[in-house]
Amino acid sequence: MRASLQWSDRRVEDVIGNLLRAGVLLSAVVVLSGGVIYLVRHGHDRADYRVFRGEPTDLRDIRGILHEAASLHGRGIIQLGLLLLIATPIARVAFSVFGFAAERDWLYVGFTLLVLMILLYSLIGSS
């Protein structure tokens, strides 16, 4: 019992490690590609972040960002990469639900679902 528990803990940790690595790598590649397009087109503009204006609505929610990225706008692609980055820990939490369920640790399945709901509310429900 004890040995099988440790084995599956170890496995869950391995998969989580790989998931985090893949998510961060993918988002970094997307952000970098968007960044190159952005710098080629706007590299000689003046950089000014002194005054806060807030982002346009197209760069604020999932639907707008997907649309901007599909139009190959540099800023839209960067924002898509950042969205993937925000989704990475959420995916990690979602996977942990299965990990704990496989171990029949229902207490931790409950805890993890609670965290997952809070995260989804922030990303989707808070606008």
User: How many Cβ atoms are within 10 Å of 94's Cβ, its own excluded?
Assistant: 17
Q: What region does 54 belong to: left with phi over 0, alpha with psi -120 to 50, or beta?
A: left
Q: Does 1 bind other proteins (CB under 8 A)?
A: no
Sign of CA dihedral 75, 80, 85, 90: positive
**15 Cβ neighbours under 8 A, 6+ residues apart:** 95, 99
Q: Which of these, 99, 53, 98, 63, lies nearest to 83 by C-alpha position?
A: 63
Q: Does 8 bind other proteins (CB under 8 A)?
A: no
Under 8 Å between Cβ of 119 and 95: no
Supply the minimum distance, in Å, between the C-beta of residue 87 and other proteins. 8
Contact flags string 15-44 toward other proteins, x per CB under 8 A: -xxx-xx-xx--xx--xx-xx--xx--xxx
Contact flags string 100-119 toward other proteins, x per CB under 8 A: -----x-xx--xx-xx--xx
With contacts defined by CB under 8 A, how many residues of the chain interact with other proteins? 67
Contact residues: other proteins, CB under 8 A = 9-10, 12-14, 16-18, 20-21, 23-24, 27-28, 31-32, 34-35, 38-39, 42-47, 49-52, 54-57, 59-61, 74-76, 78-79, 82-83, 85-86, 88-90, 92-93, 96, 105, 107-108, 111-112, 114-115, 118-119, 121-124, 126-127
